Amino acid sequence: MFQKRTNQTARQVPVQENNVPKQFSKSFTNNKNQDQLRVIALGGFGSVTQNMFCYEYAPGGDFAKSQIIIVDCGVGFPETDIFGVDLVIPDTEYLMDKKDRILGIFITHGHEDHIGALRFIIPILGSHIPIFAPKLAVAFIENRLAEAQIRPNLTEYKHSQIMEKGPFKVDPILVNHSIPDTHHFAITTPVGVIYHGSDFKFDTMPMDGKYADLQHICKVGAAGVLCLLSDSLGSEHPGFSPSERSISENFENEIKGAKKRVFITTISSNIVRWGQAITYGKRAGRKIVMVGYSVEKAVNLAKELGYLDVKDQDLVPIDRVRNFADDKLMFLVAGFAGQPESALSKMIMGKHKIKIKAGDKVIFSSPDYIPGTVSAIHTMIDNLSKMGAEVVYGEKEVHVSGHAYQAEHALLINMVRPKYLLPIGGNFRHIRAYHDMANTMGYGTDRLLSPDTAQVVTFYANGGADTETEIPFRKVLIDGFGVGDVGATVLRDRKTLAEEGMFTIIMLVNAETGALSKEPVVLSRGFVFVKENIDLINYLKQEAIAKFKEASGKPTNFEFVKDQVQGHIEQVIFEKTGRQPMVLPLVVEIE
Ligand SMILES: [Zn+2]
């Protein structure tokens, strides 16, 4: 796994009385020997996506004896300056020597930025770790991990069903969002109750009739909450976020008014929106065609589980569309974010069976604010307009946010009444807006926590809190998550490749014993000529063999081995040559 290191290094600042940040110094002495709870954002604070939060309880402040639960395990979309990389995932380095103390992973809902990294991280942490998720997320996770040939230890939870793991009690609370089955967690720990308010909104007239459980939230609040971690993405907007119902009329009119074919795109897991589209499409006498693997998978799973009212006779397979007139078809298309391998991008580039024609209508019923996706979306809209398609997007009110606005945040704060507020799920500008709003509600700076990206929030048994600890933090980049590509996921950084070259170590492994069956094979491109540097290459081979043996176990986790060999060889090459080529270890099993 190629992991790009940021410039931040590990820094553990001892917490002393005179070193406690000003806002906390008055009331608390955070002495280290009391019970502590760390909240760590493994995808970094100040990030919208890559949600993965680690709750670590240390009795008597002894972190060698800590116990851990994790909330969510999602992917992120990289900023555009990272050369063609498709995904980023949270950095699990912090957990490497604590793996046996992870008691469970609790999933709030089935969005990719909350579950999408499981397929990369479960092999690293171990597939025995229990994962708890609501029904729809269970289906998505099962499906996705089966493709990666991982068998997870997965359990479905229901709303209000308390789960106990070691010193933690996790109580799931139903809220609204753009996917059914979204929950908040009231997490009881020996240090206090933390309310984990991940992505949510309060839709007072939800399309699916499932209301957020405000009574439950009030009950949790009445019992006393130490800290509210809250979604903050919508906190720049005043008032209430519009109900999903509020776009119904516009959305239906856009579909009804189309003369030729209609294409609709949104986040593949936005089951609520697909449900609306299907209802309006059917009413307009159109058959539904699903285009793109992720849409087909999400819609079919939701249909099987009873979340969508769509019958087989409403659907037309892609190969049969030519039997229908243009005005009798509606396509649900994957790829709202413009990922190059997705169905919509390919259609626009003319590389798909279905091609967009002049007169077609394309409706983007999707967010246009997710970091790393904005410019690709605008390019698609431009290209479609150039092709003569009619494009309908955000400003014509065909999308509502799944994230709470200020009034909903104020409501949540009022119900939970926490001692501290810790905004998550937003960039620093959203966090700032959240703070400003909370400020007007009487929350002073001593109660607003604002950790930097790699800082850890520590809560103490005496009620104190600080952000003095920092963890080393790296960007973990993933490439090649395209359709059907999961098994061949390759990790690379093309900038490094262009500037420093590439160094591949192929380790041939006996499939039965898991041991190396031959000396590794080395390939080098743009780094050094193998023939002219035979001593260096031989030395690197021996180092790779030694590291392989050291990292092997019974059974061997080859992802871990590759990771270890890569890190080691990178370091040796840098020490010997001062260069940093991309090191790509491959394990090939042979009979
Ligand atoms: Zn979400």
Q: How far is the CA of 76 from the centre of ligand 1 (A)?
A: 12
User: Is the pLDDT reported for residue 27 higher than 80?
Assistant: no
Q: How far is the CA of 45 from the centre of ligand 1 (A)?
A: 16
Which residue bears the tokens 């929950």? 183
User: Is the pLDDT reported for residue 482 higher than 80?
Assistant: no
Q: How far is the CA of 553 from the centre of ligand 1 (A)?
A: 37
Q: How far is the CA of 422 from the centre of ligand 1 (A)?
A: 18
CA distance 474 to 454: 9
Residue ranges matching CATH 3.40.50.10710 in the chain: 246-396
Asked if residues 268 and 295 have their Cβ atoms less than 8 Å apart, the reply is: yes
Q: What is the maximum span of the chain, computed from C-alpha positions, in angstroms?
A: 77
Q: How far is the CA of 271 from the centre of ligand 1 (A)?
A: 12
Q: How far is the CA of 403 from the centre of ligand 1 (A)?
A: 8
Q: How far is the CA of 316 from the centre of ligand 1 (A)?
A: 29
Q: Is 170 strand, coil or helix?
A: strand
Range in 278-292, 304-318, 485-499 the model is least confident about: 485-499
CA distance 47 to 199: 13
Q: How confident is the model at residue 584 (pLDDT cuts 50, 70, 90)?
A: confident
Check residue 531 and give its pLDDT: 66
- Return the DSSP state at 479: B
Q: How far is the CA of 199 from the centre of ligand 1 (A)?
A: 5
> What is the secondary structure of 444-501 as a DSSP string?
-GGGB----TTEEEEEETTS-EEEEEE---EEEEEB---TT-GGG-B---HHHHHHH-
Q: How far is the CA of 191 from the centre of ligand 1 (A)?
A: 28
Q: How far is the CA of 178 from the centre of ligand 1 (A)?
A: 7
Cα–Cα separations (whole angstroms), residue 558 to 145, 415, 470, 570: 17, 48, 30, 18
Check residue 502 and give its pLDDT: 76
Q: How far is the CA of 48 from the centre of ligand 1 (A)?
A: 10
Check residue 84 and give its pLDDT: 45
Q: How far is the CA of 440 from the centre of ligand 1 (A)?
A: 27
More confident residue, 231 or 571: 231
Q: How far is the CA of 108 from the centre of ligand 1 (A)?
A: 9
Q: Is 394 strand, coil or helix?
A: helix
Check residue 123 and give its pLDDT: 87
Q: How far is the CA of 442 from the centre of ligand 1 (A)?
A: 29
CA distance 347 to 354: 6
The per-residue b/e assignment along 292-330, b for 16 or more CB within 10 angstroms, e otherwise, is bbbbbbbbbbbbeeebbebeeeebbebeebeeeeeeebb
Check residue 167 and give its pLDDT: 98
Q: Tell which residue, 568, 584, 590, has the closest CA to residue 490.
A: 584
Q: How far is the CA of 68 from the centre of ligand 1 (A)?
A: 23
Check residue 395 and give its pLDDT: 62
Cα–Cα separations (whole angstroms), residue 271 to 26, 46, 300, 332, 422: 49, 27, 10, 11, 29
Q: How far is the CA of 532 from the centre of ligand 1 (A)?
A: 53
Range in 18-32, 58-72, 143-157, 186-200 the model is least confident about: 18-32
User: Is the pLDDT reported for residue 234 higher than 90?
Assistant: yes
Check residue 376 and give its pLDDT: 84
Q: How far is the CA of 467 from the centre of ligand 1 (A)?
A: 26
Check residue 397 and give its pLDDT: 76
- What pTM did the predictor assign? 0.75
Check residue 499 and give its pLDDT: 60
More confident residue, 394 or 112: 112
User: Is the pLDDT reported for residue 381 higher than 50?
Assistant: yes
Q: How far is the CA of 98 from the centre of ligand 1 (A)?
A: 28
Range in 72-81, 243-252, 452-461, 476-485 the model is least confident about: 476-485
Which amino acid is located at 245 in the chain? Answer: R
Q: How far is the CA of 345 from the centre of ligand 1 (A)?
A: 23
Q: How far is the CA of 106 from the centre of ligand 1 (A)?
A: 14
Q: How far is the CA of 75 from the centre of ligand 1 (A)?
A: 12
Asked if residues 332 and 299 have their Cβ atoms less than 8 Å apart, the reply is: yes
Asked if residues 46 and 428 have their Cβ atoms less than 8 Å apart, the reply is: yes
CATH class of domain segment(s) 492-590: alpha beta
Q: How far is the CA of 176 from the centre of ligand 1 (A)?
A: 10
Q: Which two tokens stand for residue 253?
A: 């009119």
Q: How far is the CA of 240 from the centre of ligand 1 (A)?
A: 18
Sign of torsion, CA 489 493 498 502?
A: negative
Could you read off the pLDDT of 393-451 as tens digits, one per residue?
876 678 888 999 999 999 999 999 999 999 999 999 999 999 999 999 999 999 999 99
Query: What mean pLDDT is predicted for residues 146-153?
Result: 88
Q: Tell which residue, 130, 63, 125, has the closest CA to residue 100.
A: 125
Q: How far is the CA of 177 from the centre of ligand 1 (A)?
A: 7
Which residue bears the tokens 């110094």? 25
Q: How far is the CA of 384 from the centre of ligand 1 (A)?
A: 28
Residue ranges matching CATH 3.10.20.580 in the chain: 492-590
Q: How far is the CA of 21 from the centre of ligand 1 (A)?
A: 33
pLDDT over 90 percentage in the chain: 55
Q: How far is the CA of 405 from the centre of ligand 1 (A)?
A: 15
Superfamily of domain 246-396: Metallo-hydrolase/oxidoreductase (3.40.50.10710)
Query: What mean pLDDT is predicted for residues 516-529?
Result: 78
Q: How far is the CA of 113 from the centre of ligand 1 (A)?
A: 7
Give the H or E element holding residue 547. Answer: helix 534-551
Query: What mean pLDDT is predicted for residues 248-275?
Result: 92
Asked if residues 207 and 176 have their Cβ atoms less than 8 Å apart, the reply is: no
CA distance 53 to 73: 8
Superfamily of domain 26-239+401-476: Ribonuclease Z/Hydroxyacylglutathione hydrolase-like (3.60.15.10)
User: Is the pLDDT reported for residue 15 higher than 50?
Assistant: no
Q: How far is the CA of 371 from the centre of ligand 1 (A)?
A: 14
Q: Which two tokens stand for residue 369?
A: 């604010």
Measured N-to-C along each axis, helices 135-147 and 293-304 cross at an angle, to the nearest 10 degrees, of: 140
CA distance 566 to 580: 12
- Return the DSSP state at 290: E
Q: How far is the CA of 297 from the centre of ligand 1 (A)?
A: 18
Q: How far is the CA of 50 from the centre of ligand 1 (A)?
A: 11
Q: What is the mean pLDDT of the chain?
A: 85
Q: How far is the CA of 162 from the centre of ligand 1 (A)?
A: 22
Check residue 293 and give its pLDDT: 86
Can you give the length of the chain in residues? 591
Q: How far is the CA of 506 from the centre of ligand 1 (A)?
A: 39
Q: How far is the CA of 273 from the centre of ligand 1 (A)?
A: 13
Beta bridge partners of 12: 469
- Separation of first and last alpha carbons in the chain: 25
Which residue bears the tokens 């009979």? 591
Q: Is 39 strand, coil or helix?
A: strand
Check residue 7 and give its pLDDT: 34
Q: How far is the CA of 425 from the centre of ligand 1 (A)?
A: 9
CA distance 252 to 410: 32
Residue ranges matching CATH 3.60.15.10 in the chain: 26-239+401-476
Q: How far is the CA of 319 from the centre of ligand 1 (A)?
A: 33
Asked if residues 564 and 547 have their Cβ atoms less than 8 Å apart, the reply is: yes
Check residue 29 and give its pLDDT: 56
Check residue 591 and give its pLDDT: 64
Asked if residues 548 and 469 have their Cβ atoms less than 8 Å apart, the reply is: no
Q: How far is the CA of 111 from the centre of ligand 1 (A)?
A: 5
CA distance 282 to 345: 26
> What is the secondary structure of 183-235 as a DSSP string?
EEEEEEETTEEEEEE-S-B--SS-TT-----HHHHHHHHHT-EEEEEEE-TTT
More confident residue, 157 or 394: 157
User: Is the pLDDT reported for residue 31 higher than 80?
Assistant: no
- Helix then strand then coil, % of the chain, to nearest 5: 35, 25, 40
Q: How far is the CA of 523 from the centre of ligand 1 (A)?
A: 42
